[in-house]
Amino acid sequence: MIIQKSDNPRIGSFDPENYSFGDHFIDHMIICEYENGQWGEPKLMPYGPLPFSPANMAFNYGQACFEGMKAYKDKNGDVFLFRPEKNFERINKSATRLAMPEVPEEAFMQGLKVLIDADRDWVPHGEGKSLYIRPLIFATEEALKARISTKYMFAIVASPAKSYYSAPVSVKISDYYSRASSGGVGFAKAAGNYAASFYPTKLANEEGYEQIIWTDDATHENFEESGTMNVFVRINDTIYTPATSDKILDGVTRDSFIQLAKKRGIEVVVGDVKVKDVIAAHERGELKEVWGVGTAVVTSVFEAIGYKDKKYDLPKLSAEESYALTLQRDLVAIQTNNAEDPFGWRVLVEKNILETV
């Protein structure tokens, strides 16, 4: 790996008590370029803009995907990644679907650890705090030709993060717009998936909802995801969540919640979650919770769901009564090294890695 350290680090001017999610970036980034059928050597370099033409094929034809993951600092100052192998597997799954070359494991894993070790002072410590990490792959060939690009860039950037949502939100069940379709790219973290969700979300915002629960494109009868999150429903004491498919992202947080729930002896049913069943459960007084999970938000508890022209308020549960918040506490305790890790999910970022590369 090529190492090019910053001559003007900005960590000294960063206020760890006054920042917002995704607006501040650490001093370095990882860059690796693909050309002539192979990936080059990864480079650690100072964070900053890169020169690209408006004819860049990613801008014009959408070959771009990314991952979202976090690093956590414990009370002793040690820094940990959380299940990074899952993000490595998924970014290559996304890349394959978008006809882009897979990133080598060494470039991904070593790139993560070198970057975080170089900027470990940027990893905040404290409740709800972490370093949000964004690996991404995108086409870089300069050509207005609707075909597969011949040049790509793999990059890793990172930003200190706080809790994403702090209060319960209201969500609207979509009965027209869809996030993904069968045979499409819903399972991939394709950049275009997010762009296409903004307009329907804007319409929901205008109705007083913060987010959307996406339903299947064919019938709009089944829950799929919520906003940029996987979705969970609790009816009585059972948790229900849609099965992953070519339309639903295989979320790392989703999988972790399922395993943590089973460890607690909570019944989890993975399969179709029908809108009519959720509404009927509410009418019977059996719908206890609906929530979303994802890397950025961890857990977003919903206070109400809207369907058609009706709004359904959800029970206000205490932190002890809520499965969503209980499982969030279990997860965060493992991530931040405040609990045993029976699953082997934590990965220590060793110090002074730069001296060995």
Domain that residue 77 falls in: 2-162+346-356
Do 158 and 174 fall into the same domain? no
Q: Is residue 111 part of a domain?
A: yes
Q: What are phi and psi of 157, to 5 degrees?
A: -125, 165
Main-chain dihedrals φ then ψ at residue 50, nearest 5 degrees: -120, 145
- pLDDT tens figures, 82-134: 999 999 999 999 999 999 999 999 999 999 999 999 999 999 998 889 999 99
Q: What is the pLDDT of residue 20?
A: 83
Tokens (6 digits) for 291:
């929530």
Same domain, 309 and 273: yes
Q: Are residues 173 and 134 in the same domain?
A: no
**Is the pLDDT score of 279 beyond 70?**
yes
The three-state (H, E, C) secondary structure of the chain, written as one string = CEECCCCCCCHHHCCCCCCCCCCCCCCEEEEEEEECCEECCCEEEECCCCCCCCCEHHHHHCCEEECCEEEEECCCCCEEEECHHHHHHHHHHHHHHCCCCCCCHHHHHHHHHHHHHHCHHHCCCCCCCEEEEEEEEEECCECCCCCCCCCEEEEEEEEEECCCCCCCEEEEECCCCCCCCCCCCCCCCEHHHHHHHHHHHHHHHHCCCCEEEEECCCCCCEEEEECCEEEEEEECCEEEECCCECCECCCHHHHHHHHHHHHCCCEEEECCCEHHHHHHHHHCCCEEEEEEEECCCEEEEEEEEEECCEEEECCCCCCCCCHHHHHHHHHHHHHCCCCCCCCCCEEECCCCHHHHC
Q: Are 190 and 152 found together in one domain?
A: no
pTM of structure:
0.95
Residues of the chain above pLDDT 70, percent: 99
What's the half-sphere exposure (Cβ side, CA atoms, 13 Å) at 199?
Answer: 8
Give the pLDDT of residue 352: 86
Within-domain flag for 185 = yes
Q: What is the pLDDT at residue 112?
A: 98
Over the chain, what is the mean pLDDT?
Answer: 95
328, part of any domain: no
Alpha-carbon torsion, ordered 17, 346, 25, 129, to 10 deg: -20
How many domains does the chain divide into?
2
Q: Is residue 335 part of a domain?
A: no
Distance CA 11, CA 19 (A): 13
Q: Is 323 inside a domain boundary?
A: no
CA 233 from chain centre, in angstroms, equals: 20
Residue 324 belongs to a domain? no
| CATH, residue 190 | 3.20.10.10
Residue 251 is predicted with a pLDDT of 97
Report the share of the chain in percent with pLDDT over 90.
Answer: 92
One domain, residues 146 and 46: yes
Same domain, 197 and 130: no
Pairing of strands 69-73, 130-139: antiparallel
Q: What is the pLDDT of residue 354?
A: 80
The pLDDT tens digits for 289-346 are 999 999 988 999 999 999 999 999 999 999 999 999 999 999 999 999 999 999 999 9
| 157 and 174 co-located in one domain | no
256 CB contacts (<8 Å, ≥6 apart)? 83, 331, 345
Q: How many angstroms separate the first and last alpha carbons of the chain?
A: 6
Q: Residue 74 is part of a domain; what is its CATH number?
A: 3.30.470.10
* Residue bearing tokens 């109705």: 207
